[in-house]
């Protein structure tokens, strides 16, 4: 086929196709459906937000991610997931719910609590713009309200020092590895939403900020993030999540054991704490016959490792083999939600040349913007550019349309249109002027003599 001739991997050339017209008002789409296995806390929060049914992309993605939330075996790490779905189809909630469900389910030994005993950076959500970062953070806060999950955002909207204080605690002690490596500094957030540029600034300049315990790496608007390099942010992140733990092979076990005992932990024969929070990537460990694992450099035994799962969401998905390889995907799968889902080249300004002008099989075309089936669309064809404001004013003040969202080509056009609407609205709502004196009116009828 044409896609195979382009050298695409099998998983990318043959996506799991989900129709965008999938019903959202059925028992199967209900948030209370046992198939989704959402916690009572999450169901209650969704109900409070008047969300009772899931969109097609959410119905496809959420069960798949929830099935892998407990996967921690180095032999079977959770597979990475790529999702292509039209803008406005509900992609944000499709990854927000599984992430929060994972954090709630691993919060404490008691299922009745949502308290985070040890805050660690478990989810990193990278977005291309500040506005999108604020939207994602708002969604996270709305769904996680009532839990102790800590959510942060770094976009450069506040000072670098203020963001550092929000990210890292300098007076505490992390019972994992940061306590050794970073002089007592530990992470204060469980979920971080970041723009690429600001993220690289903190990776370079914030002591104690670590991606070592990351469980989810989300790329929202993935194509846009991959097209623009943003100071090589992706390589820096992938390097950060594989950062080696401190080598304690030359340390004296007795000294290490004394240090951990002072923190209230039992220690093993190597002086390492007997807990389940030390984290390693599956690339850094080897499986032993007894079911435990060892660091590949042989430094010490570990009880647990953190599998990293990459989640990519975009209205379009790149076909550039170099970019796909740069993601270092592990056992990936691809879900496309559309009337005819597939891969589509990005035609936006600034798109990579390798992603353009490439033939796509006709039956695999995907629209970047897909209108919901319940949306009613009307069109007015203007005779000229100058008549468009008049048509808009007619709709506003004569047809009395309300709750409008109006798009313009530029910021300047938006300001001009807003000023025009405000001026006309003032004229339409102000007290009408008094009538002119009768003498000012032109005579309608000729003078007539009135007989007494």
Averaged pLDDT, 238-248:
64
pLDDT at 388 over 50: yes
pLDDT band at 104 (very low <50, low <70, confident <90, very high): confident
Give the closest residue to 94 by CA, choosing from 60, 123, 137, 70: 60
Query: How far is it, in rounded angstroms, from Cα 247 to Cα 95?
Result: 35
pLDDT at 132 over 60: yes
**Cross-strand bridge partners of residue 295:** 285
Give the closest residue to 342 by CA, choosing from 308, 315, 320: 315
Side-chain half-sphere CA neighbours of 172 within 13 A: 16
Residue 81 three-state SS: strand
pLDDT at 392 over 80: yes
Which range has highest mean pLDDT (104-108, 165-169, 268-272, 425-429)?
Answer: 165-169
Residue 152 three-state SS: strand
Instruction: Check residue 2 and give its pLDDT.
Output: 52
* CB neighbourhood size of 83 (10 A): 26
Query: How far is it, in rounded angstroms, from Cα 335 to Cα 241?
Result: 25
Give the closest residue to 392 by CA, choosing from 362, 437, 439, 424: 424
Instruction: Check residue 440 and give its pLDDT.
Output: 54
pLDDT at 358 over 60: no
Backbone angles phi, psi at 334, to 5 degrees: -130, 125
pLDDT at 362 over 50: no
pLDDT at 190 over 90: yes
Instruction: Check residue 349 and give its pLDDT.
Output: 42
Query: How far is it, in rounded angstroms, from Cα 45 to Cα 116?
Result: 18
Residue pointed to by tokens 């002072």? 262
| Structure tokens given for 72 | 């921690």
Instruction: Check residue 212 and give its pLDDT.
Output: 86
Backbone angles phi, psi at 337, to 5 degrees: -110, 110
CA 374, chain centre distance (Å): 25
The fold adopted by the segment(s) 2-337 is Rossmann fold (3.40.50)
Looking at every residue in the chain, the average pLDDT score rounds to 74
Residue 234 three-state SS: helix
Query: How far is it, in rounded angstroms, from Cα 123 to Cα 102?
Result: 10
pLDDT at 417 over 70: yes
Give the start-to-end residue ranges of the domains of the chain: 2-337
| Structure tokens given for 75 | 């032999």
What is the tens place of the pLDDT at every residue in 287-337?
444 444 454 555 444 444 568 899 999 988 777 777 888 889 988 999 988
- Beta-carbon contacts of residue 268 (< 8 Å; ≥ 6 apart): 274, 301
What is the tens place of the pLDDT at every residue in 56-97?
899 999 998 988 765 555 556 788 999 998 877 889 999 999
- Beta-carbon contacts of residue 110 (< 8 Å; ≥ 6 apart): none
| Structure tokens given for 333 | 């799968």
Residue pointed to by tokens 């790149």? 318
**Cross-strand bridge partners of residue 216:** 123, 309
């Amino acid at each position: 086929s044409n896609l195979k001739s382009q050298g695409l991997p099998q998983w990318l050339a043959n996506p799991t196709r989900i129709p965008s017209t999938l019903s959202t008002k059925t028992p199967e789409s209900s948030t209370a459906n046992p198939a989704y296995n959402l916690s009572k806390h999450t169901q209650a929060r969704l109900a409070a937000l008047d969300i009772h049914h899931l969109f097609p992309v959410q119905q496809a993605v959420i069960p798949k991610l929830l099935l892998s939330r407990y996967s921690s075996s180095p032999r079977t790490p959770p597979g990475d997931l790529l999702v292509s779905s039209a803008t406005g189809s509900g992609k944000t909630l499709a990854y927000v719910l599984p992430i929060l469900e994972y954090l709630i389910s691993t919060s404490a030994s008691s299922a009745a609590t949502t308290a985070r005993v040890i805050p660690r950076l478990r989810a990193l959500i990278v977005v291309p713009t500040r506005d999108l970062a604020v939207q994602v953070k708002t969604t996270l806060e709305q769904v996680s309200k009532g839990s102790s999950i800590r959510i942060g955002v770094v976009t450069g909207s506040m000072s670098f020092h203020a963001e550092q204080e929000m990210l890292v605690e300098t007076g505490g002690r992390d019972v994992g590895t940061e306590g050794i490596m970073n002089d007592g500094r530990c992470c204060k957030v469980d979920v971080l939403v970041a723009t690429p540029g600001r993220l690289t600034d903190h990776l370079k300049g914030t002591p104690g900020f670590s991606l070592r315990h990351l469980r989810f790496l989300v790329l929202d608007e993935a194509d846009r993030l991959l097209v623009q390099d943003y100071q090589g942010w992706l390589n820096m992140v992938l390097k950060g999540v594989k950062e080696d733990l401190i080598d304690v092979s030359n340390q004296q076990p007795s000294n290490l054991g004394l240090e951990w005992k002072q923190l209230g932990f039992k220690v093993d024969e190597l002086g390492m704490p007997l807990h389940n929070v030390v984290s390693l990537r599956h690339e850094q460990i080897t499986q032993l016959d007894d079911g435990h694992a060892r660091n590949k450099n042989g430094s010490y035994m570990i009880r647990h490792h953190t599998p990293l799962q990459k989640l990519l969401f975009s209205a379009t998905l790149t076909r550039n083999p170099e970019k796909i390889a740069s993601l270092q995907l592990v056992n990936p799968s691809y879900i496309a939600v559309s009337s005819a889902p597939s891969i589509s080249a990005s035609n936006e300004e600034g798109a990579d040349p390798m992603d353009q002008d490439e033939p796509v099989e006709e039956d695999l075309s995907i629209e970047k913007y897909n209108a919901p089936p319940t949306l009613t669309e009307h069109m007015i064809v203007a005779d000229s550019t100058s008549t468009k404001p008049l048509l808009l004013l007619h709709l506003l003040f004569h047809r009395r349309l309300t709750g409008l969202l109006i798009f313009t080509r530029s910021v300047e056009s938006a300001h001009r249109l807003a000023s025009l609407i405000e001026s006309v609205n003032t004229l339409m709502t102000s007290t009408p002027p008094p009538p002119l004196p009768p003498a000012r009116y032109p005579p309608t009828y000729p003078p007539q003599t009135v007989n007494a």
